[in-house]
Amino acid sequence: MLSSQKNSYSNLIKAEAEKLGFLFCGIAKAEFLEQEAPRLESWLQKGFHGEMTYMENHFDKRLDPRLLVDDAKSIISLGLNYYSEQQFNPGAPKISRYAFGADYHEVIKQKLFLLLDFIREEIGEVGGRAFVDSAPVLDRAWAKKAGLGWIGKNGNLISRQKGSFFFLAELIIDLELEYDIEPTKDHCGTCTRCIDACPTDAIVAPSVVDGSRCISYLTIELKNEIPQEFKGKMDNWAFGCDICQDVCPWNRFSVLHQETAFQPPEELLAMTKTDWEEITEDTFKKVFKNSAVKRTKFKGLQRNISFLKNT
C-alpha cells in the first residue's frame, strides 16, 4: 500500500474517532513489545499482582497482539475522557470518578464497534477486534507507543494536554496504516507527589505499582478480607481510588467530560454517610444498576464500607 494511502486512512480513522467523542487516537504497528517483557515478568515474580492470578495467564499474548488477532498489522489506541468534579455528601465513602456513571466497558465498546463499522464501510473488508480492559492487552504500553503520552510515576498514562483521567481502549486490525512514531518524552521530572501521597505506599518505585497494596485493588480485586495493616490508610475510599491522579500536576489540564452516560444518578449523589453504611442489596442494585461498582458485588461493597467504618 502506498504511504499516501496509509496516511489518508489513518487521518480518516482519527477524524471519525474524534466525532465519536474520543479524547485522542494514536496508531502503532502491531509487533512484539520487547521492552515490556522483562518488566512484566519482574512485576509478576514480585507478586505485585496479588490475587489477580489472571495476570499470569496469556503472557505471550500480552506482549504480542498478533497472537490475539490473525494477521494483525495496526493497534489503534483511543482515550475517552471521564474527568468529573461532581460533589458527593461530605463524610460519605468515596468512589473513583471512573465509576460515577454507566459501566465504561459498555460505553466504550459501542464506540469501538461504530469505529470498526466505519472503517469497513469506508475502506473495505478489514478484520479486527475491539478491546476494553478485558483481555490480555497492555493498554498503556500501546498508548505510549502510539504517542499519546508517557507512563507516569503512578503507573498511569499521562498526556501533557489532557492529564490522565481517561480510559484506554484499542482496535487491533489487519490493515496497515501510517504509524505515530514519536513517543512522548517523560515529563514527570523530579516530581514525587503521587509517591508521597499514596497512603498505602503502593508506588514502590517510579512507574512501579505494587498492585496488592493499591486501594483500588483492595476495594475491587481482593476477594478476601482487607488486611488489618491498611486500617486508617484507606482515606475513606469504598471503591477505587483517585489520589495519585488528584495530586498529579498534569491533571490541572483535565477538562470535564461530555459523555452523558458517565453522569452519576441522582440517587448516588444524594447518598449520605448513613445511607452508605446502611445500604441494602435492593438499593445497591438500583443505584449501581449500570455501574462498574457492580464488579465488587454487594458483599464486597459492604465489606469495604464496614472496614472504613471501623477504622
pLDDT per residue as tens digits for the range 5-22: 999 999 999 999 999 999
Q: What is the pLDDT of residues 157-193, one digit of tens each?
A: 999 999 999 999 999 999 999 999 877 899 999 999 9
Active-site annotation holder among 64, 70, 103, 133: 133
Domain locations in the chain as residue ranges: 3-87+96-173, 193-248+264-309
Nearest 10 degrees: CA dihedral of 298, 82, 263, 299? 0
Least confident of 61-75, 85-99, 232-246: 85-99
Give the residue among 118, 177, 181 at the shortest CA–CA distance from 148: 181
pLDDT for the residue numbered 88? 87
CA–CA dist 297, 134 (Å, integer): 18
Q: Is 70 part of the annotated catalytic residue set?
A: no
* Beta-sheet pairing, 94-95 with 237-239: parallel
Q: What is the pLDDT of residues 63-79, one digit of tens each?
A: 999 999 999 999 999 99
| SS3 readout for the chain | CCHHHHHHHHHHHHHHHHHCCCCEEEEEECCCCCCHHHHHHHHHHCCCCCCCHHHHCCHHHHHCHHHCCCCCCEEEEEEEECCCCCCCCCCCCEECHHHCCCCHHHHHHHHHHHHHHHHHHHHCCCCEEEECCCCCCCHHHHHHHCCCCEECCCCCEEECCCECCEEEEEEEECCCCCCCCCCCCCCCCCCCHHHHHCCCCCEEECCEECHHHCHHHHHHHCCCCCCHHHCCCCCCEEECCCHHHHCCHHHHHCCCCCCHHHCCCHHHHHCCHHHHHCCCHHHHHHHCCCCHHHHHHHHHHHHHHHHHHCC
pLDDT of 102 strictly over 70: yes
Query: C-alpha distances in angstroms, 118 versus 2, 26, 44?
Result: 21, 17, 38
Arithmetic mean of pLDDT, 54-58: 93
pLDDT of 311 strictly over 70: no
Give the residue among 155, 142, 127 at the shortest CA–CA distance from 243: 155
